[in-house]
């Protein structure tokens, strides 16, 4: 039988920053023959019914890879686990041993892993507890494509997912386990997606029961001590990852300050770096108070200034490309990523620290234990956007709510509001920068996402967190000398607007102007009519001439423009020589469903 030929092509890369870190692959049932062609120079490994491609580290002498193989099969691994202490840039033998000889159960870390078992003939995709590790997949005939970014799983003829984009605009982040492109799904948090040699695919939640059904305890002194001890353990585990030197992005907030305290207590050499960014009030807090901490406690610290508006806008174009529309947060992060050290760094990110210590939805009605699915769905599908959604592109509110409710019903029943925020805003919007923008060779670690810390934090009464931040309470109780220095939680009276505030305004104008220019260069008037009603098109035109108008409508306009850029910039990563999908399409059912947590209805069948 002649082989069906398919080709993997690297999507366009960023122009102004370094290479993108990724892995991607294809798997198909044994007994079928597919010839996979790869671009020259792309590191890869292959088996009889699979191919893996991925980045190479430019920072280690060994030029290590994210893809590995031995006589048992192939492993693609990005991120880290702490027991055993292995990360994606470790020696191939250590990675293979960790995932074949003694796979952790449940795995503790933040990671994306694909296991291609030659003995069983199956593919398994796994991500961490909160699903921060970025891993997407799709069905292509009888083959399965998977990648750390949806950019590497696109096919000719792909269309935007209107429901996913509607929820993205109204809810503030990508909802469910969708991508923004039809047919591409994200591996659910705390789950394995299995594609067996025979039979339908399965989605399995591996999270322990005490995490899904915690016993809620008061926020007393004992709770603070347990939380502090759990965080100290999490930091020791992160810092034990081999061959990496810690780098701390230090702000004026509590999350990075607690990481700083732990690093100093452990006596681990590290470097702190801060971007000088005035906040929305025009106050320069991060650089000021980070420098004060450095002077007081004697640790290496650099302050980085943002580039010119023109350079800032050019870097933001790269950010948009790499994010693929999935986040608008941390637009300022690109200069920091280009100033990371030239040795393998352990980037310590404070993601989820504020949510687990203060709750995500700062509204009692959404935090209370008996909050209903409907209340949460109403919050994420507000009617304020309805006039925008009257354009032809947008699906109905009922269709969007139905998809959202279907997914919400799979989440843990206990602390439903907490889980919903963690798996949307935290996972898909805030956490995206460190998953998509950090260049190859570094490892981003998330001590607040440590399995034990998450378990301990979820046991504390969320209503108490609304009244007072546990981060601040832990600092005051155990490290008062660090809590005494002001923060963005406790700004001194009389703090004055920084002279840098004007630069912030100019950079934001340049960023949005470049975004608008990129859309205008490629978008036909008919497409604008598809995505914007008449009144909104008039406001869009007015925003090009008036900065105040652009500022007032940025909450919807910028996201719609990002959507159009994703549509325009789409280039298939995979093609077949004859235009047909590999094999007959017999696998389109179960894997397109939602992962069900224990105690939730199984919607994946």
The architecture (CATH level 2) of 4-206+584-592 comes to 4-Layer Sandwich (3.60)
Predicted local confidence at residue 496, as pLDDT? 65
Tokens of 322: 């790499």
Predicted local confidence at residue 1, as pLDDT? 42
Which residues in 28-141 belong to E strands, given as ranges?
34-37, 44-47, 50-54, 67-70, 73-82, 85-87, 109-117, 122-127, 136-140
pLDDT confidence band for 598 (50 / 70 / 90): very low
CB 175 within 8 Å of CB 380: yes
Report the phi/psi class of residue 31: left, alpha or beta, with left for phi > 0 and alpha for psi in -120 to 50: left
Q: What is the pLDDT of residues 178-212, one digit of tens each?
A: 999 999 999 999 999 999 999 999 999 999 999 99
H-run or E-run covering 373: helix 373-380
Residue among 144, 11, 21 nearest 87 (CA): 21
Q: What is the pLDDT of residues 322-336, one digit of tens each?
A: 999 999 988 889 999
Residues 6 or more apart from 604 whose CB is under 8 A from it?
202, 203, 590, 591, 593, 594, 595, 596
CA distance 458 to 227: 10
The architecture (CATH level 2) of 211-359+414-483 comes to 3-Layer(aba) Sandwich (3.40)
> Is the per-residue pLDDT at 592 higher than 80?
no
Predicted local confidence at residue 562, as pLDDT? 96
Q: Sign of the C-alpha dihedral, residues 424, 425, 427, 433?
A: positive
> Is the per-residue pLDDT at 378 higher than 60?
yes
> Is the per-residue pLDDT at 595 higher than 60?
no
| Cis peptide, bond prior to residue 202, ω within 30 of zero | no
Q: How far is CA 598 from the centre of its chain?
A: 24
Q: What is the pLDDT of residues 228-272, one digit of tens each?
A: 999 999 999 999 999 999 999 999 999 999 999 999 999 999 999
CB 288 within 8 Å of CB 278: no
> Is the per-residue pLDDT at 383 higher than 90?
no
**Between 470-478 and 221-239, two packed helices, what is the crossing angle to 10 degrees?**
90
**Between 162-171 and 397-408, two packed helices, what is the crossing angle to 10 degrees?**
80
Q: What is the pLDDT of residues 2-38, one digit of tens each?
A: 679 999 999 999 998 889 999 999 999 998 899 999 9
CB 315 within 8 Å of CB 433: no
Q: What are phi and psi of 204, to 5 degrees?
A: -125, 125
CA distance 97 to 77: 12
> Is the per-residue pLDDT at 72 higher than 90?
yes
> Is the per-residue pLDDT at 105 higher than 70?
yes
Q: Which residues pair with 52 in a beta bridge?
A: 25, 45
H helices of 19-151, in order, are: 92-96
Residue among 131, 191, 183 nearest 425 (CA): 131
Give domain limits for the chain: 4-206+584-592, 211-359+414-483, 501-568
**Between 501-520 and 554-568, two packed helices, what is the crossing angle to 10 degrees?**
40
3-state secondary structure 204-244: EECCCHHHHCCCCECCCHHHHHHHHHHHHHHHHHHHCCCCC
**Between 221-239 and 254-266, two packed helices, what is the crossing angle to 10 degrees?**
70
CA distance 497 to 283: 5
On average, the pLDDT of the chain sits at: 92
Read off the pTM. Answer: 0.95
Mean pLDDT of 499-521: 89
Predicted local confidence at residue 497, as pLDDT? 66
Predicted local confidence at residue 494, as pLDDT? 65
Give, in order, the Cα–Cα distances in Å from 122 to each of 125, 299, 327, 350, 597. Answer: 10, 49, 33, 36, 23
H-run or E-run covering 404: helix 397-408
Q: Which residue has the tokens 């353990």?
A: 233
pLDDT > 70 fraction of the chain, expressed in percent and rounded: 95
CA distance 590 to 601: 14
Tokens of 338: 């280009």
First-residue to last-residue Cα distance in the chain: 34
Residues 6 or more apart from 433 whose CB is under 8 A from it?
327, 329, 330, 333
> Is the per-residue pLDDT at 589 higher than 80?
no
CB 411 within 8 Å of CB 421: no
pLDDT confidence band for 602 (50 / 70 / 90): very low
The helix/strand/coil state of 42 is coil
Q: What are phi and psi of 251, to 5 degrees?
A: -110, -170
């Amino acid at each position: 039988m002649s082989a069906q030929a398919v080709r993997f092509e690297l999507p366009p890369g960023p122009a102004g920053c370094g290479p993108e870190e990724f892995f991607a692959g294809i798997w198909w049932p044994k007994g079928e023959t597919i010839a996979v062609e790869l671009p020259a120079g792309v590191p890869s490994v292959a088996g009889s019914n699979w191919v893996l491609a991925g980045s190479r580290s430019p920072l280690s002498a060994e030029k290590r890879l994210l893809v590995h193989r031995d006589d048992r099969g192939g492993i693609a691994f990005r991120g880290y686990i702490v027991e055993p202490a292995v990360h994606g840039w470790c020696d191939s033998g250590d990675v293979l041993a960790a995932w074949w000889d003694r796979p952790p159960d449940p795995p503790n870390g933040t990671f994306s892993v694909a296991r291609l078992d030659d003995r069983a003939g199956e593919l398994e995709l796994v991500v961490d507890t909160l699903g921060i590790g970025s891993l997407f997949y799709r069905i292509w005939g009888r083959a399965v494509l998977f990648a750390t970014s949806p950019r590497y799983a696109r096919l000719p003829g792909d269309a935007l997912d209107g429901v996913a984009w509607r929820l993205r605009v109204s809810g503030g982040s990508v909802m469910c386990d969708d991508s923004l492109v039809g047919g591409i799904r994200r591996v659910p948090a705390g789950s394995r997606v299995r594609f067996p040699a025979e039979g339908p695919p399965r989605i399995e939640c591996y999270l322990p029961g005490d995490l899904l059904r915690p016993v809620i305890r008061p926020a007393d002194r004992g709770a603070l001590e347990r939380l502090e001890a759990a965080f100290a353990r999490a930091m020791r585990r992160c810092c034990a990852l081999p061959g990496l030197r810690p780098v701390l992005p230090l702000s004026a907030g509590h999350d990075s300050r607690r990481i700083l305290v732990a690093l100093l207590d452990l006596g681990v050499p590290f470097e702190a770096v801060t971007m000088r960014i005035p906040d929305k009030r025009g106050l320069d807090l991060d650089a000021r108070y980070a420098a004060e901490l450095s002077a007081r406690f004697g640790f290496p610290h650099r302050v980085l200034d943002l580039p010119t508006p023109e350079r800032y806008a050019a870097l933001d174009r790269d950010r948009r490309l790499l994010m693929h529309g999935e986040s608008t947060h941390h637009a300022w992060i690109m200069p920091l990523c280009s100033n990371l050290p030239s040795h393998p760094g352990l980037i310590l990110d404070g993601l989820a620290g504020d949510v687990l210590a203060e709750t995500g939805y700062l509204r009692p009605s959404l935090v209370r234990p008996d909050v209903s699915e409907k209340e949460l769905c109403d919050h994420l599908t507000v009617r304020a956007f309805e006039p925008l959604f009257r354009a032809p592109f947008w699906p109905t509110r009922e269709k969007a709510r139905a998809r959202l409710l279907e997914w919400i019903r799979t989440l843990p029943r206990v602390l439903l509001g907490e889980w919903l925020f963690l798996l949307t805003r935290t996972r898909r919007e805030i956490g995206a920068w460190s998953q998509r923008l950090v260049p190859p060779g570094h490892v981003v670690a998330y001590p607040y996402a440590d399995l034990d810390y998450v378990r301990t934090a979820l046991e504390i009464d969320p209503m108490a967190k609304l009244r007072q931040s546990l981060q601040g309470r832990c600092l005051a109780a155990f490290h008062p000398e660090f809590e005494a220095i002001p923060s963005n939680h406790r700004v001194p009276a009389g703090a004055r607007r920084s002279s840098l505030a004007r630069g912030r305004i100019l950079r934001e104008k340049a960023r949005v102007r470049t975004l608008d220019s990129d859309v205008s260069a490629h978008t036909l008037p008919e497409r604008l009519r598809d995505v914007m009603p008449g009144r909104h098109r008039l406001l869009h035109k007015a925003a090009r001439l008036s900065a105040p108008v652009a500022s007032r409508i940025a909450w919807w306009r910028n996201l719609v423009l990002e959507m159009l850029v994703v549509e325009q910039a789409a280039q298939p990563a995979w093609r077949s020589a004859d235009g047909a999908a590999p094999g007959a399409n017999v696998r389109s059912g179960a894997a397109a469903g939602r992962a069900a947590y224990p105690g939730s209805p199984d919607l994946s069948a």
